[in-house]
Structure 1
Amino acid sequence: MIRFIHAADLHLDRPFEGLSDLPRPLHERVRNSTFKALDKMVDITLSERADFLIIAGDIFDSSHRSITAQHRFIHAMKKLSEASVPVYLVFGNHDHLDDPWNHLRLPENVHVFSDKPEMIPFQKKNGERVHLYGFSYRQRRVRDNMAARYQKEDGADYHIGILHGALLKGNREDTYAPFSLKDLTEKDFNYWALGHIHKRMQLSPELPVWYPGDTQGLSVKETGDKGVSCVELNGMEAHVRFCPTADIIWMRKGISIQGELTADTLEVKIGQIREEMRRTDETGVFLLLDLSVAGSDQHFEGTEELFQELLDAMNEDETYRDDFVWLLSGVVRFMQQWEPGQILKSPHFLGDVFRLIESDQAINEALSPLLQHRLGRRYLDAPDEETAARIKAEAEQILAESLFPGSASGAAERGRRSPAGSAENED
């Protein structure tokens, strides 16, 4: 059996997106969060008694490759060296080899793949052999299908591919070592350790092809726990477990108020959600709250101001807590009351529109001019299921409010998005 840790997208020392004017203690906590995740990754590697550690690209970040980040990484790798744990890594699009930044020398236990696909062997003390395959980015963009160039070499019990890249989607081009599942399955490797996508996922239920996600969420677009994959290869089977590393997680929740809204009722609702989100392991939480108000004649600006003032006041108690839940304002929306099921059954125009929105191809067809454009497909990905569902719900709400009798007066007060809600996720 071979046991190893698969990590990717550490983005050491990269600042969080969508945050400003944090109190000093939280600012320091944020600044150190990627390093905390690095330390947890090393601790997990040691506690799991892993044979080796794989890092599938973007250890450092193109926006902030500090000497501090390199020094902290080297210190972490030396800790693994003292335990005789080798590390196999590739550099990705954010820390590519051609960039003129000052590289500090890595310890001898760290094996870096060159800019051309190659194999590096590993042998366990009991004689089991592993062949690891990978390549590092020479420049920020790699348009070639590099996975197709990996060549399996005989003489090993296990074969592991390391690839920082993006799965091809339809006829779209991609500039991050694009590959297809067929490219990977044809190699007949025991495991593919992927990087580049900041979301944990297995590309096919039948295949050992995994993105572990990033080790620390960097914006509100990266909600939920973040971490590494703890992998065991035993014969032809791959057993993969999630092991958390994030010191701070991002969450997003909605608050719904029916009828008249008061400061008391809103404070109680916010407090309940805050305590539900509070972690027992001293992990901090940035919680983005969306507020929906239905059946009220209150003014939008006054409600938005009340919402923000309550969040600011409630945050005062969180500054010095290890298990803080810091509240951020998201979308504030006044909603017209309507029954979606009845509209979907309606034979009239609005029913036709709702049925079109709910169809499987609605969003893909709407986005196709962007996704098929040579510039659009470079920067945009098709939305995942959660994002698509939210887009559909918001579209239906806008239509219902616009077309229902008496709703026109509220159209100008439909939701506004805070800076925290507009943060971008960059893979």
Structure 2
Amino acid sequence: MGKIRFFHVADLHLDSPFIGLKHLPKEVFERIHNSTFASFEKVVREAIVRQIDFMIISGDLFDEEDRSIRAQAKLLKQFNLLHSNNIPVYVVHGNHDHLGSYRLELDMPDNIHIFNAETEVKQLTVKNGTTVDIVGFSYGKRHIQERRVADYPKRYDDRYTIGILHGSEGSVHSSHETYAPFSIRELLEKNYHYWALGHIHERQILHEEPYIVYPGNIQGRHRKETGEKGCYEVVLDHHHTELTFIPTHDLMWRTCRVSLQAVQRFGEIFQRIQQALESLEKGDVLIEVILTDDESLTQDMAAKIENGDLLEALQTEYGSQQGLKWIHSIRWNHTQASRGIEQDPFRQEVMETLESMGEEDWKGALAEMYEHPSIYRFLDPLKEEEKKSLIEETERLLHNKG
């Protein structure tokens, strides 16, 4: 068996709505909204430069079931670029873009190989004559709770075998729902050369030789998906595997911690945040500022943070800079001074109610949509990140009215 080189990519989430950010200035939001497309364009550029043999995409190409024509057209353009460079692509659809949802309305080129809902083997012979078996399945529906690993055949000794699986490993703690669960032991029993996983947005190597890998998503979509995002270039050379991480994010989400210890006036808070932001690496970033050690704040200083004055001043300062260094939120401990701020009873009651709501409470609050004959079938239970975004957006609006 000769050497093969491929990209392992997962969780593109093209056309992600970026819930909770639509209040941003239009040009900033548009930049963020286009970031998933820009990230995949980087993936494709790197694939062509590195002259890989093929690409694997381990699910969730689109963020929504009713994938937009805009998203399909942008994806098609990149797939055509890969086609013109003789790079085949092996795709499984995941829970976000399952086969039971709206099908692709635009015809894909013949270098795109999409797996069916039943586990199947697709065979490829690369440029140097080496044969590869690629095994996987696409989600036929959004929720697949059953174990599917038993459907994967054991490998043949005379060729490389790569498994694609969009699902949840039992020991990985994640905010993502558990789909197509598996254990590392189950995967190792198949004796494959590489397992290309998807679904978990954190980059993780679960096992080496054979490698069992979550590459994470290619672009962070909210404040908890911080740091570099991208894909892996994988080189298989008989019994040796080499992995190279390739950053592809268009924007990076970062947290920036700033101590307020011994501050004497409001201007010092602004200056300390400015200094902390200057130390961040270059590149376009979306920043959550976390204020610590706020015991010395006066009630007046605390009020200016609480009512959004500080955030607005920082956004004005950085919004006009070349590139993007946007502070999307400020979080702090509210330890001493903020306890003395007179709270708006209505605002406090609303926030306490929102934060205590369970799944059924949310359904009740959204009953008109969930029960509407034309809408209910398109709605899934709210994810944890969506609930948090709704709460944060409500809090922001209430602060601005305060």
Q: If the TM-score is normalised by the length of the shorter chain, which range does it land in?
A: 0.7 to 0.9
Give distance in 2, aligned partners of 1:379 and 1:178. 21
Give the counterpart of 2:130 among 124, 128, 131: 128
Deviations 1:312-348 (A, max 9, x none): 2232243354532111333222447xxxxxxxxxxxx
Q: Does 1:305 align with 2:342?
A: no
Q: How many residues align?
A: 342
Q: Give the equivalent residue in structure 2 for 1:357.
A: none
Give distance in 2, aligned partners of 1:202 and 1:221. 20
Tell me which amino acid in the other structure corresponds to 1:303: A
- Superposed counterparts of 1:321-400, under 5 Å: 321-335=321-335
Tell me which amino acid in the other structure corresponds to 1:167: E
Give the counterpart of 1:71 among 70, 73, 77: 73
Question: Structure 1 segments of 4 or more deviating over 4 A?
Answer: 378-381, 417-422
Give distance in 1, aligned partners of 2:129 and 2:208. 31
Q: Give the equivalent residue in structure 1 for 2:39.
A: 37
Deviations 1:297-318 (A, max 9, x none): 622x741524732332232243
Q: Does 1:230 align with 2:230?
A: no
Give distance in 1, aligned partners of 2:35 and 2:135. 30
Q: Give the equivalent residue in structure 2 for 1:389.
A: none
Secondary structure, aligned partner of 2:94: coil
Between 106-115 and 315-324, report the one with greater CA deviation. Answer: 315-324
CA contact (8 A) 2:256 2:287 kept: yes
Tell me which amino acid in the other structure corresponds to 1:284: D
Give ranges in structure 2 of 5+ residues lacking alignment.
337-357, 359-380, 385-390, 397-402
Give distance in 2, aligned partners of 1:67 and 1:206. 41
Deviations 1:195-248 (A, max 9, x none): 000111111356401111001100001011111111111111111111011111
Give distance in 1, aligned partners of 2:65 and 2:292. 36
Q: Give the equivalent residue in structure 2 for 1:106.
A: 108
Q: Does 1:220 align with 2:223?
A: yes
Give distance in 1, aligned partners of 2:394 and 2:114. 37
Q: Give the equivalent residue in structure 1 for 2:256.
A: 253
Deviations 1:394-425 (A, max 9, x none): xxxxxxxxxxxxxxxxxxxxxxx954999xxx
Q: Does 1:190 align with 2:193?
A: yes
Tell me which amino acid in the other structure corresponds to 1:257: L
Give the counterpart of 2:168 among 166, 169, 181: 166
Give distance in 1, aligned partners of 2:287 and 2:38. 20
CA contact (8 A) 2:65 2:101 kept: no
CA contact (8 A) 2:8 2:196 kept: yes
Q: Give the equivalent residue in structure 1 for 2:285.
A: 285
Q: Does 1:275 align with 2:295?
A: no
Give distance in 2, aligned partners of 1:421 and 1:7. 36
CA contact (8 A) 2:226 2:255 kept: yes
Give distance in 1, aligned partners of 2:214 and 2:271. 39
Give distance in 2, aligned partners of 1:57 and 1:326. 30
Deviations 1:340-359 (A, max 9, x none): xxxxxxxxxxxxxxxxxxxx
Tell me which amino acid in the other structure corresponds to 1:305: K
Tell me which amino acid in the other structure corresponds to 2:327: L
Decide whether aligned partners of structure 1 residues 206 and 132 sit closer, same or farther in structure 2, where only a CA change above 3 A counts.
Answer: closer
Secondary structure, aligned partner of 2:90: strand
Give distance in 1, aligned partners of 2:214 and 2:181. 14
Tell me which amino acid in the other structure corresponds to 1:240: L
* RMSD, aligned CA: 2.8
Secondary structure, aligned partner of 2:224: coil
Q: Give the equivalent residue in structure 2 for 1:200.
A: 203
Between 214-223 and 143-152, report the one with greater CA deviation. Answer: 143-152
Give distance in 2, aligned partners of 1:107 and 1:119. 20
Give distance in 2, aligned partners of 1:117 and 1:272. 54
Decide whether aligned partners of structure 1 residues 91 and 261 sit closer, same or farther in structure 2, where only a CA change above 3 A counts.
Answer: farther
Q: Could you state the TM-score of these two structures normalised by the residue count of structure 1?
A: 0.74
Give distance in 2, aligned partners of 1:420 and 1:257. 27
Between 3-12 and 247-256, report the one with greater CA deviation. Answer: 247-256
Give distance in 2, aligned partners of 1:297 and 1:160. 57
Displacement after TM superposition at 1:146 (Å) = 1.1
Q: Give the equivalent residue in structure 1 for 2:266.
A: 263
% identity of equivalent residues:
37
Secondary structure, aligned partner of 1:104: coil
Give the counterpart of 2:54 among 30, 52, 61: 52
- Superposed counterparts of 1:144-159, under 5 Å: 144-154=146-156, 156-159=158-161
Displacement after TM superposition at 1:154 (Å) = 2.4
Q: Give the equivalent residue in structure 2 for 1:398.
A: none
Tell me which amino acid in the other structure corresponds to 2:84: E
Give ranges in structure 1 of 5+ residues lacking alignment.
337-369, 371-377, 382-416, 423-427
Secondary structure, aligned partner of 1:315: helix
